[in-house]
A = this chain, B = another copy of it.
Amino acid sequence: MPGTCTLALDAMGGDHGPAVVIPGAALSLERHAQTRFMFFGDAARIEAELDKHPALKAQSSVVHTSTAISMDDKPSQALRRGKGSSMWLALEAVQKGQAQAAISAGNTGALMAIARLVLRPMTDIERPAIAAIWPTVKRSCIVLDVGANIGASARQLADFALMGAAMARALFHIERPSVALLNVGVEEIKGVEEVRQAHAWLKEMGAELPIDYRGFMEGHQIGEGHVDVVVVEGFAGNIALKTAEGTARQVGAYLKSAMMQSWLSRAGALLARGGFNVLRQKMDPRHSNGAPFLGLNGIAIKSHGGTDAIGFASAIDVGYEMAESGLVARLAADLDTFHGRLAAPGPQLSSG
């Protein structure tokens, strides 16, 4: 039944804890009125916030814990000391089937380590990927991996394609998302064997897989929005994501200083403030918040640690859409098909 899912929220994660998590949930509830929430953390602080949002409170339960993972905890420390923490309990609620997705603004390394331990990777998946929602001049697209892995084998890259497609299906409601592999265009380059091999497999098996494979793409094309999913190894993917964020801020700074350079341009900017508000909206990173870990037996969403209620609500929405779409079961089946096909006897798949 659509809209009745339960979401497990780490109320203590991020820079602001319950003061952002609870208002964020209230905002998301306005968009998905049937959602139920489980909040994990300091019950007194959570209840105090919930009292300000009666509609949310009516659909929420609170699980108290006095343990919380700090933003500085290393993954190893989080694994050692984190049992029973708000983050851990939220993930456990998903593992036990009490909730369909966990959302946390806690630290990425700890969340990844605990999510892997509690939810476990899907069959034949060694490490999950982290996916980002990337705004483009058209609809947003999904880029993965943005930093869960360093380096990726051809099979991992092809797995990422299926993972990203599952997420695109959930968020954009397209049955057969388009997918491209990020590559470099400098012609003399011989390398990136993994990317070439993944390309060959996706091209050959495209018809059997639930994706519309479009081949290679270069970095400047991501923002053009030609495809739903862009696949890249995690080191380059993380650098691309951060570089794009930095460049957007840099152009914003240029714009601001250019508008201040004469009284005429200051007056023009004042007159055009409606337009600048549209621009600010369009570039607001809060609307792209919510990075899922893909390839686990359950849904875990990482929110930016410093975001506000509007941003946290976006991350909750991502969890909601993914839970509603039945992503986990479908993705597991797609990965099985692909891995089975790779291992199958009969006409050999090309290599390279």
Contacts and interface: CB of A to CB of B under 8 A. Distances in A.
Interface stretch (A28-36, A48-56, A156-164, A221-229): A221-229
Among the interface residues A188, A262, A268, which one has the most CB atoms of the partner chain B within 10 A?
A: A188
A283 B189 contact: no
A187 B221 contact: no
Interface string A226-251: 00000010111011111111111111
Contacts of A250: 135-137, 223-224, 248
A248 B113 CA distance: 35
A126 to B, nearest CB: 13
A188 B282 contact: no
B191 A151 contact: yes
Interface string A108-130: 11001100000000000000001
A192 to B, nearest CB: 5
A258 interface: yes
B268 A243 contact: no
Contact of A232 (B239, B251, B252, B282): B239
Contacts of A243: 219-220, 222-223, 240, 243-244, 247
Contacts of A232: 239
Contacts of A190: 150
A282 B75 CA distance: 42
Contacts of A271: 264-265, 267-268, 271-272
B269 A242 contact: no
Given A109-B188, A184-B147, A272 B278 contact: no
A273 interface: yes
Contacts of A192: 150, 235
Q: Which 6 pairs from chain A and chain B are nearest by CB?
A: A268-B272, A219-B242, A265-B275, A268-B271, A150-B191, A220-B246
